[in-house]
Amino acid sequence: MKPVRRLLWSIFVCLLATAAACVGQEPSSNWISQIDIPALLPFQVSFRFTNGGATSLDNIRGQAILSDQFGRMIEALPIDSFSVPPGGSKTVFAASRWGFQQTGVYLEEIALESDGGDLISNSLAFRILPVQLPLAPAAATFGEGLKTLYQQPVSWGLQRISAQDAWTITHGRRDIVIAVIDTGIDSSIPQLEASMWVNAGEVPGNRIDDDGNGYVDDIHGWDFRDGDNSSLYGSALHWHGTFVAGIIAAQPGEEPIVGVAPGSRIMDVRFLDSNNEFSSRDWNVFAEAIDYAVDNGADLINMSIFANGTPPAALQNAIARAIRSGVVIIGIAGNTNQGSVQYPGKYDDVYAVSATTEDDQLASFSARGPEVSFCAPGEGITSFLPGGQTATRSGTSFAAPHVTGTLALILSAFPSLSPIQAVDVLMGSLVDLGARGFDPSFGQGLIDAFKAVSD
């Protein structure tokens, strides 16, 4: 949170058998009371905020900080914006984006700021009652897997971009929407189902276009290949889109797969066919898919797609419309091992990503060229296949989602930034590889998620 003037006071916290806390004294101005833990799975905290002043407090926001027994931050639970009139009170909730917790977690602090610049900070040192849940293996230790709270191994790619360290700051926010224009996503996989975008303007299954966007019951997105509301129906799914979605935002669970930004949401925009292909007749449909993502609130678009030859103006115009709307598009360099980036990554308005290996070399298959913006892990990446099986694959298609996920983390860590501004933050946090500065193999450099969200 930005530096602001602090109002500090002491409060006495009482542990109750129901895992609740109460405040023993209240200051004369604004205060927090009735701190409670209504749920442990996922973890939630509620509290009562009272405005004891003579003026309304608007756009109050902040976070509830969880820490381990050593005071190391585990997670910052976001507190959505709220307002309280003078003399009024409001019950406020904050919740973890994860479905499980480990033992020995403390609610350390609740911190709030308002438009007036006041930061209301309560140092609580409040112990959440110990719980032992199935998805928190007792054998795991601090520093392994997802740090203290989320005890699960991650892929080498996430390790290389310092995603685990970034998660001590943010896992992504629900309101950050990433459109995956690809072969469709198997949203029935439990670790992906919870990460799917939900169109709040639609009533599921009533066969009515409730939000008037021209697409009936588009709850999680739209299948432009079959012209219906779900990739799970109609023509068979190619594995590619599900694999990409898992890299971006899979939540932790039974399979050892976690996305870069698992707290964010995925919009399923199916364009490619069952063979992971499209034809020259599909250019206008490709443009419609981009327009759909933009019109329905996507902040970022991941397009792990390449085209042979030069696309018609319809595609470039759709990309330009997306950029004018403030949406950032991440594309790929291609897998040709040539010195020329393929479209749509070749467009100036698309950030093309090349693929690296575990030893920070350009992958043997990766294309390169002056249009490459960034590089990211793309060789030997593990993710989901349709049906929930896991597999390991290589390609620039799987490097790009590391970048897209990192941008989602930046937007989550810095809520005031636009997607374009998030790219600027990313640019300032890259690890230089190859020749000093920009080079056609690695672009501006390798992404570092932790540096990006902590600068």
Amino acid in the structure at residue 271: F
Distances (CA, A) of 48 to 20, 30, 95: 13, 11, 15
**The one catalytic residue among 220, 238, 240, 402:** 240
CA terminus-to-terminus distance, the chain = 12
Amino acid in the structure at residue 18: T
Helix (H, G, I), strand (E, B) or coil at 420: helix
**The one catalytic residue among 182, 223, 299, 439:** 182
188 is catalytic: no
Tell me how far apart the alpha carbons of residues 331 and 308 are, in angstroms, rounded to a whole number: 14
240 is catalytic: yes
Instruction: Please calculate the CA angle 386-389-392 and round it to the nearest 5 degrees.
Output: 100
**The one catalytic residue among 96, 394, 397, 441:** 397
Which DSSP symbol is given to 281? Answer: G
Backbone angles phi, psi at 36, to 5 degrees: -140, 155
Torsion, Cα 286 213 215 409, to 10 degrees, reads 60
* Tokens describing residue 323: 């950029």
Burial annotation 247-277 (CB, 10 A radius, 16+ → b, else e): bbbbbbbebebbbbbbbbbbbbbbbbbeeee
Tell me how far apart the alpha carbons of residues 392 and 273 are, in angstroms, rounded to a whole number: 21
* Bond into 204 cis (ω within 30): no
36 is catalytic: no
Tell me how far apart the alpha carbons of residues 399 and 361 are, in angstroms, rounded to a whole number: 13
Tally helices (H) and strands (E) across the chain. 9, 19
Active site residues: 182, 240, 397
